[in-house]
Amino acid sequence: MIVCRDICKEYRHAGLRKQVLRNVNLTVQRGDRIALLGRNGAGKTTLIKLIGGVEMPTSGRIEHHMSISWPLGFAGGFQGSLTGYDNARFIARIYQREYAAIRDFVEDFTELGSQLRMPVKTYSSGMRARLAFALSLAIEFECYLIDEIILVGDQNFHRKCRVELFEKRADRTMILASHDTGTVRELCNRAVIIDQGQATAYDDVNFAVDSYSAL
């Protein structure tokens, strides 16, 4: 279970202040697949970063009783100057996993071949997505935080994600930020709309998607 209590997050820079989230309360049950809906800049990524422990809330608490992946998104998690293999080695080390097993899975899932010997900064966003998914799947988290990135891959990648994540690991919890209402309707069982700093949870995904589309 993940519980967010009264989370506020504001950013300050050069005297400017932007309050992104205001008193957000959210409870995620084990096995939930939650869609985060909201317009650009509404705070979806911020909420995912807070749940992932990447950034700290300005006030409020986040409690969790399961292992949570790092936010799988366009940025973060990798060292651009290191190769794909080196990043895999680094992640195997800090998550205390067998490197050989992780490497085999990454090679098989990403199909990047010799590209894995190139620095990650030379990768396209689709290639990064493959690597990020491969590593986080190899580590086996109980909850996956997915920030948009599922949309960048090609058909082959989508199919693999579907099999590995939504079929083989159907019991896992998932928090998915997405603008793709089709994916959300199909995959998620709950939805949260973030608008003007407030989060509203809906048990009826179709209803949530409709009201999001009306925003």
Partner 1 sequence: MVPGSLRRLQSAWEVQTRVIHALVIRELSTRFGRENIGFLWIMVEPLLFASLVGLLWSLAKGPEEHGISVVAFVATGYIPLTLFRHSVQRSVLVFTTNSSLLYHRQIKIMDFILARFIIEMMGCMMAYLFIGLILIATGFMPVPADIGLFLAGWALYSLFCLSICLVLSPLSEISDVMEKFIPVTTYVMIPFSGAFNMSSWLTPTMREFLMLSPFVNGMEMMRKGIWGIKVTAYYDVWNPIICSAVLIGIGLPLCRRVRKTLAVE
Can you give the binding site for partner 1, defined by CB under 8 A? 11-12, 49, 52-56, 58, 68, 70-71, 75-82, 86, 90-91, 93-96
* Shortest Å distance, C-beta 177 to partner 1: 15
Nearest residue to 184 (alpha-carbon basis) of 163, 156, 160, 211: 211
Between 18 and 168, CB nearer to partner 1: 18
Residue 142's SS3 state is coil
Provide the pairing of β-strand 143-147 with 173-177.
parallel
Between 173 and 181, CB nearer to partner 1: 173
Cα separation values, 89 from 97, 99, 107, 122, 159, Å: 9, 6, 13, 18, 26
* Shortest Å distance, C-beta 95 to partner 1: 8
User: Hey, which bits of the chain come out as E strands?
Assistant: 2-13, 16-28, 33-37, 59-64, 143-147, 173-177, 190-195, 198-202
Largest CA distance in the chain: 49
Between 128 and 160, CB nearer to partner 1: 128
* Shortest Å distance, C-beta 77 to partner 1: 4
Token pair, residue 191, equals 């939805």
* Shortest Å distance, C-beta 90 to partner 1: 5
Between 55 and 164, CB nearer to partner 1: 55
Between 91 and 192, CB nearer to partner 1: 91
* Shortest Å distance, C-beta 182 to partner 1: 28
Quick count: other Cβ atoms within 10 Å of Cβ 140? Answer: 12
CA distance 215 to 198: 14
* Shortest Å distance, C-beta 68 to partner 1: 8
Between 3 and 54, CB nearer to partner 1: 54
Instruction: Using the structure block, give the residue that is written with the tokens 């409690």.
Output: 63
